[in-house]
Chain A
Amino acid sequence: GAVVSQHPSWVICKSGTSVKIECRSLDFQATTMFWYRQFPKQSLMLMATSNEGSKATYEQGVEKDKFLINHASLTLSTLTVTSAHPEDSSFYICSATSPETQYFGPGTRLLVL
């Protein structure tokens, strides 16, 4: 089946720093990738839709200047959390799409101190 990787798997950073998370589709090309955030004991909340070669589409309430998304190739999308604060601590999960379904990455756990 399709494989999606994320890097890093976990990161701890100081408040005010920026963190970049990579999402890669390893064995297929994905024109569309999605970024989700999941707080403990909650559901996955869609943050944005990442389209290769164009600007990301952000969901209502998600600050595009704080969560920078770049989808530079058909196998890589990056999410940069700028000026991270403790309330940004969460589990960030990406997915890559095929015509049939979405394949999820393993997630990145971010802790902002």
Chain B
Amino acid sequence: GENVEQHPSTLSVQEGDSAVIKCTYSDSASNYFPWYKQELGKRPQLIIDIRSNVGEKKDQRIAVTLNKTAKHFSLHITETQPEDSAVYFCAASRSGGYNKLIFGAGTRLAVHP
């Protein structure tokens, strides 16, 4: 069935360093790939998303890359700050909002001052 694998499960970096989280999806029909940030006890917050017709998207310190051939997408956070500490989830779906999202297992990011 549909599956999204996410690595690493935990990531610890020093403030100012970059962080990279990688995901691989199994459903070749997937064409929408959002990334969510979830703080403890809160709802997931969409931080960036990418669709299959582009290979890269950037929003300030956050960027996402997509390799459709390899069915692989990654989140890049530059100049990390302590407030970036949270759990990050990747997800994949077949199109926009109306189809179900398949989530990765999550990455717990800790940014140390």
- A interface with B by C-beta (< 8 Å): 31-32, 34, 42-46, 49, 91, 93, 95, 97-107, 109
Contact = CB atoms under 8 A, between A and B. Distances in A.
A93 B44 CA distance: 9
Interface string B38-50: 0001111110010
A44 B101 CA distance: 10
B57 interface: no
Contacts of B98: 31-32, 97, 99
Nearest to B95: A99
B41 to A, nearest CB: 8
Contacts of B97: 32, 97-102
Interface stretch (B14-22, B59-67, B77-85, B103-111): B103-111
Contacts of B42: 106-107
Main SS class of interface, B = loop
Interface of B: 32, 34, 36, 41-46, 49, 89, 96-98, 100-106
B25 to A, nearest CB: 14
Contacts of B41: 91, 107, 109
Given A34-B101, A106-B43, A101 B96 contact: yes
A91 B36 CA distance: 17
Nearest to A101: B97
A101 B36 CA distance: 12
Contacts of B43: 93, 104-107
